[in-house]
Amino acid sequence: MALLTLSDVTVRFGARTALDAVDLEIAEHETVCVLGPSGSGKSTLLRVVAGLTAPDGGRVLLDGADRTGVPTHRRGVGLMFQDHQLFPQRDVAGNVAFGLRMRGVPRGEQAGRVEELLELVGLPGAGRRAVAALSGGEQQRVALARALAPRPRLLMLDEPLGQLDRSLRERLVVELRGLFGRLGTTVLAVTHDQGEAFALADRVVVMRDGRVAQTGTPVEVWQRPASAFVARFLGFDNVVDATVSGGAADTVWGRIPVPDGSAQGERSVLVRPAGVRLVDPAGALRCTVEARTFRGSRVAVLLRPDGPSGGPVLEAECGLRDAPRVGAAVGVAFAAEDVVVLEGRESGL
C-alpha cells in the first residue's frame, strides 16, 4: 500500500490555481522528487501534505487514512524548509531536540538521539554551537537532523540544496541518497534543479502549472521526455514541430529520421545535441556556426540554419578538436537514435 496518496488535490489562491487535480502515490521507502520551474505548484504540494495549506478539493491519505483535515502538528510528517528555518534563539542541540520535546520524549533519551543524529549528518559534538555561527552547509545538516529526529514516516524536503554552492551540493546529494537508503526513509523532495532530482530520486515527477506533466524513473524521463515542455525544462532546445509519417519527420530543418515505432502524425520532435552531426554541406541542411561554448571535454556549437525559412537555431555537441570556427559554413545531418518524438505540437506549449 502506498504510504502517501494524493487524490484529486486542488489548491486555488484567488483566481490562480496552484494545484490542479493532482494525483500522486508514494510507496514506502521510495524517494520521489517533484521537479518543476518556479510557480509550478511544487512547494504548495508539500504544504498540502504537511497540512500548512488546506486544499480546496481532494484528499491526502497517509498510510491509507484520510489526513486532509488533520492539523499540521498531528500529522507526523517531517518537512525541511527551503531556507532551513532553524530557531535562532536555540543552539544546534535545541533545534534538533525540538520535535522530540514536542512528543514528550524523556530528556535523557533526547540527548542520546540528538548526538546520534548529529553524528549521522556529520556534525558530531556540535550540539552547543549557536545556529547563527553555522555555515550554510552546516545549517542544512542541522535542519536535516531536526527533521529526522522524530523519525517521521514521510520526510519532505523543499529545495533541499537550493542555496548551497555547486560543489557542496553535488557532495551532499550523494550523502543524502546514501543516508535515505540506510535509514529506509520515505522521501518527497521538490526542486527546480534537474541534476539534483535525477541524482536523488527513485522516481521523478515533473510539474507544470499545477499539474503533473510526466512521471517516471530518472532514466525514463531523461531519455524519453513526454512533451516539448519537459524536454525544454530538462535543457533541450532542439525542439520543433513535425509531421511524423513512417520512419521520418518533416520539419523546418528538413526530414529527420525517427526511431522505429515512433508515434505518428502532427507532433513535435526533440533532437539531442549528440544527434546533430556535422557533415559536408553538399546535400545537407546548410548552417552557419553562430557561437561555441566550451563544456569541459565537449563543445556546444550553436548553428543558424541558412536560407529564409531556415528554422530555429540548432545545438550540436562536438569533440574539442572537431568543433568548427564561428562563422564557418557546415552541413547538418540527424541521427535517429538521438531523436525523440514528443506528444503534441511545440506551438501548443
Partner 1 sequence: MDLTRGEVAGEAASRARPARPGPKGTRPTSKRERAGRAHAVRLALMAVPVAFFAVFFAYPVTAIVGRGLKADGTWQFGRVGEVLSRPDILGVLWFTTWQALASTAVTLLIALPGAYVFARFDFPGRHVLRAVVTIPFVLPTVVVGTAFLALLGRGGLLDELWGIRLDTTVWAILLAHVFFNYAVVVRTVGGLWSQLDPRQEEAARVLGAGRFAAWWRVTLPALAPAVAAAALMVFLFTFTSFGVVQILGGPAYSTLEVEIYRQTAQLLDLPTAAVLTLVQFAAVAAVLAVHARTVRRREGALRLVDPARTARRPRGTGQWALLGGVLATVLVLILLPLAVLVERSLDAPGGYGLGFYRALGSLDASGGTFLVPPLEAVWNSLRYALAATGVALVVGGLAAAALTRRAGRLVRGFDALLMLPLGVSAVTVGFGFLITLDKPPLDLRTSWILVPLAQALVGVPFVVRTMLPVLRAVDGRLREAAAVLGASPLRVWREVDLPLVRRALLVAAGFAFAVSLGEFGATVFIARPDRPTLPVAVARLLGRPGELNYGQAMALSTVLMLVCAVSLLALERIRTDRSGEF
- The nearest distance, CB 62 to partner 1, in angstroms, is 10
Burial code (b: 16+ CB inside 10 Å, e: under 16) for 135-153 equals eebbbbbbbbbbbbbbebe
Q: Write the Ramachandran bin of 116: left for phi over 0, alpha for psi from -120 to 50, otherwise beta.
A: alpha
In the window 30-69, what residues touch partner 1 (CB under 8 A)?
A: 38-39, 43-44, 47, 50-56, 65-69
165 binding partner 1? (CB under 8 A): no
Binding of partner 1 at residue 72 (CB under 8 A)? yes
Neighbours of 5 (CB within 10 A): 18
Question: Which of 35/285 has CB closer to partner 1?
Answer: 35
Give backbone dihedrals phi and psi of 40, rounded to 5 degrees, phi first: -85, -5
Residue choice 27, 87, 112, 132 for contact with partner 1 (CB under 8 A): 87
**Shortest separation between residue 110's beta carbon and partner 1, angstroms:** 13
How many positions of this chain bind partner 1 (CB under 8 A)? 49
Sole window of 81-89, 169-177, 312-320, 326-334 interacting with partner 1 (rule: CB under 8 A)? 81-89
- Check binding of 227 to partner 1 (CB under 8 A): no
In the complex, the smallest distance separating the C-beta of residue 210 from partner 1, rounded to whole angstroms, is 10
- Of 273-332, binders to partner 1 (CB under 8 A) are none
> What is the contact mask toward partner 1 in residues 92 to 131, using x (rule: CB under 8 A)?
------xx--xx----------------------------
The footprint of partner 1 (CB under 8 A) covers: 11, 13-14, 16, 18, 38-39, 43-44, 47, 50-56, 65-79, 81-83, 85, 87-89, 98-99, 102-103, 146-147, 150, 159, 162, 192
